[in-house]
């Protein structure tokens, strides 16, 4: 599948999973819009919109780096306009930006609660809303959201109810868009990993180097995203995928290459 002439608007793509997806699609010829906040590198996180853009260009795609805080509607609108001005439209939206706080109700401050809902829910909604006029005219248009399958079992909700609900809201938005935009030919799906993924968030917030060693690289999400976005005529829409099942449908069942520590134990993701 070639993504030549397709423009992909990715939130939070300066590092981690977002950047991995950007590089995968860039190698297939896509134009990549990196809509993220980082313009100066944080040593704990690594990467900026400019370093990511340079890697996209090196991978074979065309890049546009736009500093964007998706909590700010004016910044979203400006980023979308810059993308359309530069590349002529937007064909794919990838909702990757997300905030995490794994705390119970007493420990979750209002500031952190608002942050998760402003980014994960409100920001995701606004990005799609502003990109929609271009998606309606896009080539094989897709919305892909990095969020988990919805399960209302207490074991997923009770440890960190605010965060869980914000991620389930992202999936609900995506499932709703699949129905709302079906007649317009816009596919909408969610994607989530079976295991933890080796990102700065996992290292800094969840389990340090020990958990990184029990994780897979972001490349597994990038490859799964590539296959989802390659589908035409709404072959995939209204689905909440796990990365492994996407790859299995393509005949890829040996996933050893994705492990940070080959042959080591893998740690299941929060919602699996």
Per the prediction, the chain carries an average pLDDT of 95
Q: How many CA atoms lie within 13 A of 255 on its CB side?
A: 25
Q: What token pair was written down for 268?
A: 């299941």
Residue positions annotated with a catalytic role: 163
Contacts for 73 with CB less than 8 Å, ≥ 6 apart: 126, 130
Query: For 123-159, how does the pLDDT look when each residue is reduced to its tens digit (9 = 90+)?
Result: 999 999 999 999 999 999 999 999 999 999 999 999 9
Q: What is the pLDDT of residue 64?
A: 98
* pTM, to two decimals: 0.96
Q: Is the pLDDT assigned to residue 111 strictly greater than 80?
A: yes
The class level of CATH for 7-258 reads alpha beta
Is the pLDDT assigned to residue 201 strictly greater than 90? no
């Amino acid at each position: 599948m070639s993504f030549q002439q397709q423009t992909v608007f990715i939130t939070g793509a300066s590092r981690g999973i977002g950047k991995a997806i950007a590089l995968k699609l860039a190698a297939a010829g896509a134009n990549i819009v990196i809509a993220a906040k980082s313009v100066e590198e944080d040593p704990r996180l690594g990467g900026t919109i400019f370093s990511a853009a340079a890697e996209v260009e090196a991978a074979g795609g065309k890049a546009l780096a736009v500093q964007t805080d998706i909590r700010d509607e004016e910044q979203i609108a400006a980023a979308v306009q810059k993308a359309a001005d530069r590349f002529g439209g937007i064909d794919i939206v990838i909702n990757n930006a997300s905030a995490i706080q794994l705390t119970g109700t007493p420990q979750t401050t209002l500031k952190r609660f608002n942050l998760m809902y402003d980014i994960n829910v409100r920001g995701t909604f606004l990005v799609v809303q502003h990109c929609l006029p271009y998606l309606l005219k896009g080539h094989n248009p897709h919305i892909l959201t990095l969020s988990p399958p919805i399960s209302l079992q207490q074991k997923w909700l009770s440890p960190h109810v605010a965060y869980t609900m914000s991620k389930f809201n992202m999936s609900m938005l995506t499932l709703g868009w699949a129905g709302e935009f079906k007649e317009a030919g816009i596919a909408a799906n969610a994607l989530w990993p079976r295991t933890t993924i080796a990102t700065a968030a996992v290292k800094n917030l969840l389990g340090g180097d020990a958990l990184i060693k029990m994780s897979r690289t972001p490349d597994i999400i990038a490859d799964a995203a590539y296959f989802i976005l390659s589908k035409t005529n709404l072959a995939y829409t209204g689905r909440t995928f796990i990365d492994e099942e996407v790859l299995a449908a393509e005949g890829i069942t040996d996933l050893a290459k994705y492990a940070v520590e080959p042959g080591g134990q893998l740690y299941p993701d929060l919602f699996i």
